[in-house]
Amino acid sequence: MSFPFHLPLLLDGATATNLAAAGMPGGVCVEKWILENPEKLTKLQSDFIEAGAQAVYAPTFGANRACLSSYGLEAEVADINQKLVALSQSVAKPAGVLVGGNVCPTGLFVPPFGESDFDDIYDIYREQIRALDDAGVDFIAIETQTSLADMRAAVLAARTTNLPVFVTVTVDESGHTLTGGSLLPAVITLQAMGADAIGLNCSFGPEHMLEHVEQVAPHISVPIIAKPSAGVPMWNSPEHSGILSPDEFAARMRGLMEAGARIVGGCCGSTVEHLKALAQVAKEFGPPEIPEEPDCYAAANEREAFFLGDDIVFSEPIACTSSLGEDLIDLDDEQVTAALVEVNSLDDALLLSENSTMTRLPIAVYCDSLPVLDAALRYFQGRLIVDSACPIETDLIEPLAAKYGAIVY
């Protein structure tokens, strides 16, 4: 399916840092404060639109049950999302500007990084995304993501709607997320799951984003998003000395667009003036040159993408036992190109997920039950290979593999 919006697409700038400059105190529930001070948000988004924004994010970033529970507002997810979207629509729709439903990380982690259940994380996203869909957003923006489990759960939830899905990852200066992931494995996994655009946001300034965009450009089959920070505002400094000037920001964004980014905007510290300067740069570019056949025939775990040849040589089947991690490590010296793991139960599927990064090989699964295969694909944080020799009918395997972005071989 072709991308549904005109490219390049200019997103808005920062919401929270600009609201802080407009008087929002620290430590408050941002979403609740906006509802109590709606004119601050509508003024900011009107200014972004006047500066050239073709899409604004509704200020629903932290409006999921997990985040709102910190303020005792977990029962108000639907109502808060509906009201916040309506605020953005009130200024965007008369101008013909798109409104994205903004979705943040849950702050919950699956094993081995935490004790949360993947299905619980999915349910949190599903509740908010249903509310955003009901409110009439034009797309879902899954933003500032720090673990592949969160990204996958959010994409699965978003794919239950007919809305386009944007995903942006946040990494540190070494290129890693909180759970040790990086952009390329996320791209390989999420585009196979049906994400419509993928990239980076926040993290750091445009110049540090460039190497990551250049790395994924040959392997991505969807538009690239770049929404970097303009810097860290220092509001107690009259010069806001942590911020790139609008001209500096726009000049460095040109490099990102030359590398292939076509959905662009600003994150922390970016003001209306930054967006105005970026709008002039964006006019220099046409639609992206996405490779006709991008090099994306690859499996992945959270930390690594494994590009596959025409012939994949499976290992002997490995049982899911308490020594699975060690068995996967031992495979690294064998003359095989994929680790074949036999998954026979839900517990096996969870064990495989927890040990997914213990090998430097792509992982394939063999299952003799469709529900077990579903569990293996659902809980694996990455892109699996499914052994076509599984005694499950092909017409049952293929739609399941497509849902989770898996490769059938």
pLDDT in tens, 73-91: 999 999 999 999 999 999 9
pLDDT band at 232 (very low <50, low <70, confident <90, very high): low
3-state secondary structure of 92: helix
State how far Cα 283 lies from the chain centre: 26
pLDDT band at 1 (very low <50, low <70, confident <90, very high): low
With beta carbons less than 8 A apart as the criterion, state whether 347 and 376 touch: no
The average pLDDT across 291-317 equals 94
pLDDT band at 237 (very low <50, low <70, confident <90, very high): very low
The average pLDDT across 217-227 equals 97
Among candidate residues 4, 1, 6, 20, the one with its CA nearest the CA of residue 268: 20
State yes or no: pLDDT of 100 exceeds 70. Answer: yes
Q: Please tell me the pTM assigned to this model.
A: 0.95
Both tokens assigned to 389: 């020799």
Q: What is the pLDDT of residues 310-333, one digit of tens each?
A: 999 999 999 999 999 999 999 877
The average pLDDT across 345-357 equals 97
pLDDT for 44 equals 98
State yes or no: pLDDT of 334 exceeds 80. Answer: no
The average pLDDT across 92-120 equals 97
**Residues in a beta bridge with 166:** 141, 197
State yes or no: pLDDT of 374 exceeds 80. Answer: yes
pLDDT for 329 equals 93
